[in-house]
Amino acid sequence: MIKPKGLVIFDMDGVVIDSINEYFITLRSTLEEFGVPMAMLPTFRTFLESFSNPPQPFYSQFGVAWLEAEKVFRTLAEIHFRTEVLYSGVVEAIKSLRSVGYKTAIVSSGYSDVVKRRLQCFNLTKLFDIVVTDKFNKAQVLRSCAQILLCPSHLTYFVGGLWSDMRDARLAEIRGVGFSAGHGFMRPVLINAGAEMCVDTHEQLVERLAA
């Protein structure tokens, strides 16, 4: 296998697909199904503040067990997530990076069937060399992707919109790129979490990496 110029690993939600509103609506709908009063439902701000954290403690504060809520969430997600869209310029950016020699991958903690449907729906499948989904140790998976594609850590980038994404990139000893337009996390938060650089658009990502 020929060694690539580098590897760019994308998180899916908040980087490739703009789904933050769909997550918020689905979460609130799930809590309503368990009888949580409207006055107690999380605001968009409190939702964003907890988005990087495990779901179990978040749901437990409303008296809802995540193991039960997850089934309802998945059912409702099939309805609400039909309105999600790609970020403007993301397909062109991925194609540009590949044209100059980068390998590309998806590492998403989303459900495998949902990720597969999204890739097919938006005709993205052929744009990625590796797709990893479901629950895992993200730092370990990021490191493994680089090893599989024979890409050294200093040429491997993980583009994410969460502070936890930047933490995982740091733990994997690869280069974190914060996408500050995704989940609403400010540049200082992403940088403090370990981002080596931050971009506001996918065009900026290409400019930084393809130079």
Q: Is the pLDDT of residue 4 over 70?
A: no
Q: Is the pLDDT of residue 120 over 90?
A: yes
Q: Name the least confident of 24-38, 41-55, 90-104.
A: 41-55
CB 110 within 8 A of CB 135: no
Against a cut of 0.75, is the pTM above it? yes
Q: Going along the chain, which residue ranges are E strands?
A: 6-10, 17-18, 85-86, 102-107, 130-132, 156-160, 175-179, 197-199
Q: Is the pLDDT of residue 128 over 80?
A: yes
- Categorize the per-residue pLDDT at 28 as very low, low, confident or very high, splitting at 50, 70 and 90: very high
Q: What is the mean pLDDT of residues 40-51?
A: 87
Listed in sequence order, the residues at least 6 apart from 38 whose beta carbon sits closer than 8 Å to its beta carbon are: 32
* Mean confidence (pLDDT) of the chain: 91
Amino acid at 78: E
- Categorize the per-residue pLDDT at 76 as very low, low, confident or very high, splitting at 50, 70 and 90: very high
Q: What is the pLDDT of residue 80?
A: 85
Q: Is the pLDDT of residue 184 over 90?
A: no
Q: Is the pLDDT of residue 2 over 80?
A: no
- Angle of helix 202-209 relative to helix 90-99, nearest 10 degrees? 10
Q: Residue with structure tokens 């903690």?
A: 109
Q: DSSP 3-state assignment of 46?
A: helix
Q: Is the pLDDT of residue 3 over 70?
A: no
Two structure tokens written together for 114: 């949902």
Listed in sequence order, the residues at least 6 apart from 121 whose beta carbon sits closer than 8 Å to its beta carbon are: none
Q: What is the mean pLDDT of residues 30-46?
A: 94
Q: Residue with structure tokens 């809802």?
A: 64
Q: Is the pLDDT of residue 37 over 60?
A: yes
